[in-house]
């Protein structure tokens, strides 16, 4: 892809940016949005991290630039829908309201170019920890922060040693038994909800684990995040889907040594829509 020619997609899905938190990779997302256009963009929750902002205010210019970039796309004709998540749940009372051309929703049904119907939802509604034990969710949030700090330390050591990036938090997510079980259970719950809604698949975020999988006839797709893996889900004009990992494709100028880009181990392969 030529760096000065943005690629255009039918639909772009982004989630879990966590603006307002220090781990947010805003510089990567700005660069990604600069090089990618779409007729429609879904912001699939946790774009703003209200939990962290309530604890301590952190809003650098880069985070404001992300918001302005999205608003600018909306003004230029891109249809932008913001699906509230648990970290930005303060938006849920504003369903149907437009903010600068961006409409807020809790869930929507997206129809693909080849006529498939997909439920688009953040996914925290199906996370028992978030819904039944908020204190445990906050504790988990703190543990996740600790994993990100470990990420930074390991990444810098490997950078100095001339070794490729390796993400501790992503490794733990796919290797620690409890984490693996949680991801599997979460995916099953979302697939079951898609069956109840009589749709062909589901697109979500929340667990920061980008993937495209077939769940017994239901296409499950997770957008990933912009804290660890910097991934987005895109729909091509033929209705096929692909995960793009911008840490693999971004220009080196974006990759700052003081804040190394995580690698989530995604193969980024193209998959057909359900």
pLDDT tens per residue, range 151-174: 666 666 766 777 665 555 555 555
Helices (H), the chain: 26-35, 50-55, 61-75, 128-132, 134-160, 168-175, 177-196, 246-249
Q: Which residues contact 116 (CB under 8 A, 6 or more apart)?
A: 200, 201, 219, 239, 273, 274
Arithmetic mean of pLDDT over the chain:
82
Q: State residue 128's pLDDT score.
A: 62
Number of domains in the chain: 1
Q: Does residue 4 sit within a domain?
A: no
pLDDT at 268 over 50: no
Q: Tell me the residue range of the domain where 19 lies.
A: 9-271
Sign (positive or negative) of CA dihedral 64, 103, 78, 261: positive
- Of 218, 224, 222, the C-alpha closest to 191 is 218
pLDDT tens per residue, range 29-80: 999 999 999 999 999 999 999 998 998 999 999 999 999 999 999 999 999 9
pLDDT tens per residue, range 233-267: 999 999 999 999 998 665 554 554 334 333 333 33
pLDDT tens per residue, range 108-157: 999 999 999 999 999 999 886 444 444 344 444 555 566 666 666 666 67
pLDDT tens per residue, range 176-199: 445 557 788 899 999 999 999 999
Q: State residue 97's pLDDT score.
A: 94
The pair of three-digit structure tokens given for residue 139, joined into one six-digit string: 């504790």
What is the percent of the chain with per-residue pLDDT over 90, rounded to a whole number?
61
Q: Does residue 165 sit within a domain?
A: yes
Q: Does residue 86 sit within a domain?
A: yes
Placement of tokens 């080196």 in the chain: 252
For residue 229, give the CATH number of its domain.
3.60.21.10
Angle of CA points 198, 90, 38, to nearest 5° = 55
- Of 58, 65, 8, 1, the C-alpha closest to 235 is 8
Q: State residue 187's pLDDT score.
A: 93
Placement of tokens 């994993």 in the chain: 147
Residue-level length of the chain: 274
Q: Does residue 89 sit within a domain?
A: yes
Q: Which residues contact 254 (CB under 8 A, 6 or more apart)?
A: 27, 28, 31, 261
How many other C-beta atoms can be found within 10 angstroms of the C-beta atom of residue 56? 9
> pTM of the full predicted structure?
0.77
Cα separations in angstroms, 45 against 4, 18, 35, 98, 251: 29, 9, 22, 16, 27
**Beta strands at 218-222 and 201-204: parallel, antiparallel or unpaired:** parallel
């Amino acid at each position: 892809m030529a760096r000065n020619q943005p690629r255009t997609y039918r639909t772009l899905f982004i989630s879990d940016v966590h603006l307002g938190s220090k781990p947010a990779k805003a510089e990567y997302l700005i660069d990604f949005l600069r090089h990618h256009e779409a007729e429609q963009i879904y912001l699939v929750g946790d774009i703003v991290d209200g939990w962290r902002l309530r604890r301590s205010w952190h809003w650098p210019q880069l985070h404001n630039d992300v918001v302005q970039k999205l608003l600018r796309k909306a003004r230029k004709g891109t249809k932008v829908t913001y699906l509230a998540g648990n970290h930005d749940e303060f938006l849920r009372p504003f369903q149907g309201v437009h903010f600068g051309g961006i409409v807020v929703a809790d869930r929507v049904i997206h129809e693909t170019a080849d006529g498939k119907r997909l439920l688009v939802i953040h996914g925290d509604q199906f996370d028992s920890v978030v819904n039944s034990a908020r204190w445990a969710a906050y504790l988990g949030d703190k543990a996740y922060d600790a994993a990100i700090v470990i990420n930074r330390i390991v990444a810098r050591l490997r950078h100095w040693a001339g070794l490729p990036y390796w993400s501790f938090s992503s490794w733990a997510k796919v290797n620690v038994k409890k984490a693996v079980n949680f991801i599997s259970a979460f995916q099953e719950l979302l697939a079951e909800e898609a069956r109840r809604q009589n749709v062909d698949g589901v697109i979500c975020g929340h667990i920061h684990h980008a993937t495209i999988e077939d769940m017994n006839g239901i296409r499950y797709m997770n957008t990933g995040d912009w804290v660890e893996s910097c991934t987005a889900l895109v729909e091509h004009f033929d209705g096929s889907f692909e995960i793009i990992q911008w840490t693999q494709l971004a220009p080196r100028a974006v990759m700052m040594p003081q804040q190394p880009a995580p690698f989530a181990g995604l193969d980024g392969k193209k998959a057909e829509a359900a």
